[in-house]
Structure 1
Amino acid sequence: MLLDDIWRKLDLEEEIGIPLPSPENGSKVVFTTRSKYVCGRMGPHDMEVGKLDPENAWELFRQKVRGTTIDSDPEIFELAEKICGKCQGLPLALNVIGETMACKTSVREWQCAIDDLDSSADDYPEVKDEILKILKLSYDDLKDKTVQQCFQYCALFPSHISKDMLVEFWISEGIIDGRGNRERAINQGHRIIGDLISACLLMPVDTPFLEEVTMHDVVRKMALWVASNFGKEEENFIVKIGAGLHQMPTVRDWNVVRKMSLVYNDIQDISISPECPNLTTLFLPKNNLENISGIFFLSMPKLVILDLSSNQKLTKLPEEVSNLVSLRYFDLSRTSLENLPVGFGKLIQLRYLDLTSVRTLKSISVISSLVNIEMLLLQYTNLVSLELIEDIKLLKNLKGLGVTLCFNDVVVLKRLLSIPSLASCIQHIDLERILAKDAPLQFENAMASLRTIMIDRGNISDVMEHTRYGHRSTCFQNLSTVRIINVRGIQDLSWLLFAPNLTFLLVTGPSRELQEIISREKVSGILNEESSIVPFRKLHTIYLKWLLGLKSICWERLELPSLKRMEIRKCPKLKKLPFSKERAYNFDLHTDNEERFEWEDEATQD
Structure 2
Amino acid sequence: MAGVGKTALLNKFNNEYLVGAEGINVAIYIEVTRNYDLSKIQKIIGDRLGLSWEKKGPKERAVVLYKVLSKMNFVIIFDDLWEPINLRMLGIPVPKQQSKSKIVLSTRIEDVCDRMDVRRKIKFDCLPWEHAWELFQEKVGDALAHPNPEIRRQAESVAMKCGGLPLALITVGRALASKRTTKEWKHAITVLKIAPWQLLGMENDLLVPLKHSYDCLPNDKLRLCLLYCSLFPEDFSIFKEWIIGYCIGEGFIDDLYTEMDEIYNKGHDLLGDLKTASLLESEDEEHIKMHPMVRAMALWIASDSGTKETKWLVRAGIGLKEALGAEKWNDAERISFMRNNIFELYEQPRCPSLKTLMLQSNPALQKICDGFFQYMPTLRVLDLSHTSINELPSGLGALGQLQYLDLYNTNIKVLPSELGELVNLRFLLLSHMPLETIPNGVMCRLTLLQVLYMDLSYGDWKVGTSGNGVDFQELESLRRLKAFDATMQTPAALQQLAQSPRLAGSTRNLLIKTAAGLKTLELPSSDLWKNMTKLKRIWVVTCADLEEVVINGPDVRPENDLNTLSNTIIRGYNTVPDEEQSVLPDLESIILQGLQKAKIMYKGGCLQQLSSLFIWYCPGLEHLISCANDESEEPLVIIEAFPKLKELYLHGLPRFKSFSTGRYLLCFPSLVSLKVIECPKLKTLELSAKDLLEIHGTNEWWNTLEWEDDTEVKERFMPLFRPLR
* TM alignment of 1:201-240, pairs within 5 A: 201-206=279-284, 211-240=286-315
Mean Cα deviation higher: 163-172 or 250-259: 250-259
Against the structure 1 CA distance between its residues 418 and 494, is the aligned structure 2 distance closer, same or farther, given a 3 Å change threshold?
A: same
* Deviation sequence 1:191-240 (CA, Å, 0-9, x none): 11111121222222238xxx222222221111111111211222221111
Structure 2 equivalent of residue 603 of structure 1: none
Structure 2 equivalent of residue 346 of structure 1: 421
User: How far apart are the structure 1 equivalents of 2:531 and 2:135?
Assistant: 55
Structure 1 equivalent of residue 623 of structure 2: 513
The residue identity in structure 1 corresponding to 2:255 is G
* Deviation sequence 1:453-512 (CA, Å, 0-9, x none): 33346556446631276242433444454444566422569876533xx66555566653
Matched, 1:243 2:318: yes
Against the structure 1 CA distance between its residues 520 and 9, is the aligned structure 2 distance closer, same or farther, given a 3 Å change threshold?
A: farther
Against the structure 1 CA distance between its residues 344 and 278, is the aligned structure 2 distance closer, same or farther, given a 3 Å change threshold?
A: same
* Deviation sequence 1:32-86 (CA, Å, 0-9, x none): 4322222323335334344444444334433433447156321111111211222
Matched, 1:190 2:263: no
Contact 1:494 1:523 in 2 (8 A): no
User: How far apart are the structure 1 equivalents of 2:276 and 2:659?
Assistant: 43
Structure 1 equivalent of residue 562 of structure 2: none
Matched, 1:136 2:211: yes
SS in structure 2 opposite 1:440?
strand
User: How far apart are the structure 2 equivalents of 1:544 and 1:466?
Assistant: 23
Highest Rg: 1 or 2? Answer: 2
User: How far apart are the structure 1 equivalents of 2:601 and 2:133?
Assistant: 54
SS in structure 2 opposite 1:72?
coil
User: How far apart are the structure 1 equivalents of 2:715 and 2:291?
Assistant: 42
Matched, 1:405 2:405: no
User: How far apart are the structure 2 equivalents of 1:438 and 1:181?
Assistant: 36
Structure 1 equivalent of residue 564 of structure 2: none
The residue identity in structure 1 corresponding to 2:240 is K
User: How far apart are the structure 1 equivalents of 2:589 and 2:491?
Assistant: 22
The residue identity in structure 1 corresponding to 2:251 is G
User: How far apart are the structure 2 equivalents of 1:523 and 1:426?
Assistant: 27
User: How far apart are the structure 1 equivalents of 2:606 and 2:486?
Assistant: 21
SS in structure 2 opposite 1:598?
helix
Mean Cα deviation higher: 99-108 or 507-516: 507-516
User: How far apart are the structure 1 equivalents of 2:200 and 2:603?
Assistant: 61
C-alpha deviation, 1:137, in angstroms: 2.1
Contact 2:540 2:592 in 1 (8 A): yes
The residue identity in structure 2 corresponding to 1:472 is D
Structure 2 equivalent of residue 574 of structure 1: 685
User: How far apart are the structure 1 equivalents of 2:602 and 2:371?
Assistant: 57
C-alpha deviation, 1:114, in angstroms: 0.9
Contact 2:638 2:665 in 1 (8 A): no
Structure 1 equivalent of residue 474 of structure 2: 391
User: How far apart are the structure 1 equivalents of 2:676 and 2:422?
Assistant: 49
Contact 1:378 1:404 in 2 (8 A): yes
Structure 2 equivalent of residue 604 of structure 1: none
Structure 2 equivalent of residue 466 of structure 1: 553
Among 162, 179, 191, the residue aligned to 2:239? 162
Structure 2 equivalent of residue 542 of structure 1: 647
Identity, in percent, stands at 28
User: How far apart are the structure 1 equivalents of 2:321 and 2:715?
Assistant: 55
User: How far apart are the structure 1 equivalents of 2:485 and 2:237?
Assistant: 22
Q: Which runs of 5+ in 2 are unaligned?
A: 1-74, 464-469, 556-571, 628-635, 703-711, 718-725
SS in structure 2 opposite 1:297?
coil
The residue identity in structure 2 corresponding to 1:302 is T
SS in structure 2 opposite 1:401?
strand
Among 220, 233, 256, the residue aligned to 2:331? 256
Contact 2:522 2:549 in 1 (8 A): yes
Structure 2 equivalent of residue 35 of structure 1: 109
* TM alignment of 1:293-372, pairs within 5 A: 293-312=369-388, 314-365=389-440, 366-372=442-448
TM-score under structure 1 normalisation?
0.82
SS in structure 2 opposite 1:143?
coil
* Alignment root-mean-square deviation, CA: 3.5
The residue identity in structure 1 corresponding to 2:578 is R
Among 410, 413, 418, the residue aligned to 2:499? 418
Mean Cα deviation higher: 372-381 or 291-300: 291-300
Q: Which runs of 5+ in 1 are unaligned?
A: 528-534, 600-606
Mean Cα deviation higher: 141-150 or 487-496: 487-496
The residue identity in structure 2 corresponding to 1:423 is A
Structure 2 equivalent of residue 373 of structure 1: 449
* Deviation sequence 1:566-595 (CA, Å, 0-9, x none): 354467533565446xxx7xxx74556898
C-alpha deviation, 1:278, in angstroms: 0.9
TM-score under structure 2 normalisation?
0.70
Among 593, 596, 600, the residue aligned to 1:490? 600
Matched, 1:176 2:249: no
The residue identity in structure 2 corresponding to 1:566 is S
C-alpha deviation, 1:126, in angstroms: 2.2
Among 533, 547, 555, the residue aligned to 1:448? 533
Against the structure 1 CA distance between its residues 220 and 18, is the aligned structure 2 distance closer, same or farther, given a 3 Å change threshold?
A: same
The residue identity in structure 1 corresponding to 2:623 is E
Against the structure 1 CA distance between its residues 292 and 433, is the aligned structure 2 distance closer, same or farther, given a 3 Å change threshold?
A: closer
Matched, 1:289 2:382: no
User: How far apart are the structure 2 equivalents of 1:596 and 1:39?
Assistant: 50
Structure 1 equivalent of residue 721 of structure 2: none
SS in structure 1 opposite 2:112?
helix
User: How far apart are the structure 2 equivalents of 1:514 and 1:180?
Assistant: 42
SS in structure 2 opposite 1:128?
helix
Against the structure 1 CA distance between its residues 68 and 233, is the aligned structure 2 distance closer, same or farther, given a 3 Å change threshold?
A: closer
Contact 1:463 1:495 in 2 (8 A): no
Among 177, 187, 204, the residue aligned to 1:102? 177
SS in structure 2 opposite 1:108?
helix
User: How far apart are the structure 2 equivalents of 1:436 and 1:496?
Assistant: 22
* Deviation sequence 1:432-468 (CA, Å, 0-9, x none): 4667554514452443221333334655644663127
User: How far apart are the structure 2 equivalents of 1:548 and 1:51?
Assistant: 52
Contact 1:418 1:445 in 2 (8 A): no
